[in-house]
Structure 1
Amino acid sequence: MTDTGQPVEILLAEDNPGDVKLTEKALERGNVINNLHVVNDGVEALAYLRQEGEYADRPRPDLMLLDLNMPRKSGTEVLEAIGDDEDLRRIPVVVLTSSEAEEDIVKSYDLHANAYLTKPVDFDGFLDIVSRIEEFWLSVVKMPPE
């Protein structure tokens, strides 16, 4: 929960249905009450963040989990747009992706990602990493006010 006693709002930008299910499962097992919102590509991610169209009534996320390899707009393009928008740049963004490429890591941090994690390929490893994200970002870190 947030300092106000409300569930933590998490935006997951992920186009792989299997990874969405694993993330949901890991967050359900966690200790932090949260609402997970899922978008399937970079265009939807930006519409959600900007509360446009069908996302006009959605809550502002307290944390975003972002895959880099998405259709329509990549995670890198989403990071660029977040960094260029004063209203969005305080939202913590954790890149959670399959890419281990050094250029993706460097570029993500250059675009002000708060963390970069490579998705484990095994079920238990994936659940563990999402649980650690939840524990650190939602229990330990002091989040910025909206």
Structure 2
Amino acid sequence: MPIEILLVEDNPGDVRLTQIALEDSKISVNLNVVVDGVEAIAFLRKQENYTQVPTPNIILLDLNLPRKDGREVLEEIKADHTLKRIPVVVLTTSRAEEDVLKAYNLCANCYVTKPVDFDQFVKIVHSIENFWFTVVKLPPE
């Protein structure tokens, strides 16, 4: 069974970089992508066009999103009894201490700042993948 990842990212370049980084994965991965916070919640609750989607094993969440920002999405996920066990990795460009603190206060499982360099970005995605899919025991669906 492939690992189901939900990437919540509005930057097409970062989506593509994540896809590239996961292509040479040793683990079978299915990457689902939504481009804003409203779509993320619809996906997770299997609403609208997302009634047949898999439940993700992990969520990679950008903070700066249109329509509903990542902080609001994180707050909704962690307040929902059916979603709160899904690990959320905040993957964002923000290095602001207030964003880091707020993300952890909203129960993010970890906070990773996106590097601007391609090789470093790939290394970060591989590190996330290795930790969350090799080291950590994920909760059952």
2:123 corresponds to 1:128: yes
1:107 to 99, 102, 110: 102
How far the C-alpha of 1:135 sits from its partner, in A, is 0.5
How far the C-alpha of 1:139 sits from its partner, in A, is 1.1
Deviates more, 1:27-36 or 1:17-26: 27-36
Could you report, residue by residue, the CA deviation over 1:25-77 in whole angstroms, capped at 9, with x for unpaired residues? 00111211010000000000000000101001000000000000000000000
TM-score (norm 2): 0.99
1:76 to 66, 71, 88: 71
1:34 to 29, 33, 51: 29
Aligned-residue identity in percent: 62
Alignment partner, residue 38 of structure 2 = 43
Matched position secondary structure for 1:95 = strand
Equivalenced residues, count: 141
Alignment partner, residue 13 of structure 2 = 18
- Deviating 4+ runs (over 2 angstroms): none
Matched position secondary structure for 1:133 = helix
Structure 2 residues not aligned, in runs of 5+: none
Structure 1 residues not aligned, in runs of 5+: 1-5
TM-score (norm 1): 0.96
Q: C-alpha distance in 2, partners of 1:113/1:29?
A: 27
